[in-house]
Structure 1
Amino acid sequence: MRGMSVDGGTGVRRLKSEADEPGWEVDPDDDWGVAVIATVGRQVKLRREAVGMRAADFGVAVGYGEDLVYKIEGGKRIPRPEFLDRADEVLRAGGLLSAMKEDVAKVRYPKKVRELAKLEAQAVELQLYDPLNIHGLLQTPEYARGLLLMRRPAYSQDEVERMVAGRMARKSVFDRDPAPRWGSSWRNGRFGARWADGHGCAPSSNTCSRWPTCGTSSFR
């Protein structure tokens, strides 16, 4: 279901729906993550009701469809950081909703790599090694999705999208200033580019680029 609204008289603007944000579901097996998102959703709902705003009107104000608002309030969807900032402003929460972004960001990571992500966030230099694939921190969404789709027994589509989103969230470690230095070595002798201006290029491997599920286009 998609919400619609008129944007300043200039035309119809489509609000975000669940289909627009794959990978933001809560892992039902992650007890801590479920508790965090349920708490955040409850606070959003309480704040919305405190100012007397209907879910549909609130959705228009933050650019979300009514169905997506209800899923966030019900703890079924992980809210984006920009959603929490906008909700904080619209609901006049005084920074309380925005302050939840740090804990919400941790929920994006699968629980088995949550401690690893914490260490990555503190690192000043990363040495990456993978004999077969491009390391997860350097993968594009298409490449990560291709690898996950080859897994047997197969993941569900929702699981794949959630894992891809979590893996992409970990790349925020390179958005720090200063960004960590990194090096990447390969068993076949290929070596990844080093950081120059805070960015870098992912190393290539003939082995992984020839896999039919990924292909060279997944590096872009």
Structure 2
Amino acid sequence: MASSDHEERPERPSQTDGTAHLFSALGKQIKVLREHAGMSQRELGKAAHCGEALISAIERGVRTPQPDFLTRVDALLDARGVLAAAADDVREAQARARTRHPDWFRDYARAEAEAVALHNYGAQAVHGLLQTEAYARATFIQRRPLLDEATIEKRLADRLARQQVFERWPAPTFSYVLEEAVLQRPTGGVAVQQQQLRRLLTAGRMRNVEIQVMPTDRPEHPALDGTFTLMTPRGRQQVVYTESYGHPRLITGPEEVRIFSERYGIIRAQALTPHESLTLIEKMLGEP
């Protein structure tokens, strides 16, 4: 099991297809241009609508700069098109990365990467976009039948890479409703569980993310059939993704999508508010 220090390490772009060298070079260029412009990482992050930590991670080559980020920063740093010119290369690299997903998952991964809104109801585990590295690793290790180590590492890298969707601008809208039992279950051990709860607190405080907890003692529940995700890909109608024991389904029919959307609205109404939910998570961590 990964240690807590390893768990909080920023995810590194895939080494398998050589794209890490591209992202490392871009990071170094951004750092040189930023310093030449007399800007701190905090100042550039504020101007580019992102955090100082993201600027630091990109400059160190451990996070992938998104195409729209490169376009914004090119203008901010007076790079004269040098960074913007790399946007197409980054898009191509991301497209290659998406093909690493299993065949059955690729349609969902493509829709998720392009989503302007994503809403998820989770009953078994924390959604992949919110998982820490150690929590994600634990979920793969526990799969039955057992996965070999190479498959675990590949799927782990792909899952963490998907989390770059939070870095897009304009920022997509995210909402999550998690069953209270998911938060109580020490997946991967108590230390991993606590780190995962802290990750939820961090995500839930983002302006474009809302996290709600469905208390176990609620006497009524409109979604006992299982978990699902509502997505609105850019320029397209809302779709629904469901998965049960390796049988995925991407639903596009308007009437069926409407039913899931209505169901999700009822779930959110019955769950704790976002503020109440974060307060509950803080209490679970023993924080005042």
TM-score by length of structure 1 reads 0.46
Q: Higher strand proportion, which one?
A: 2
TM-score by length of structure 2 reads 0.37
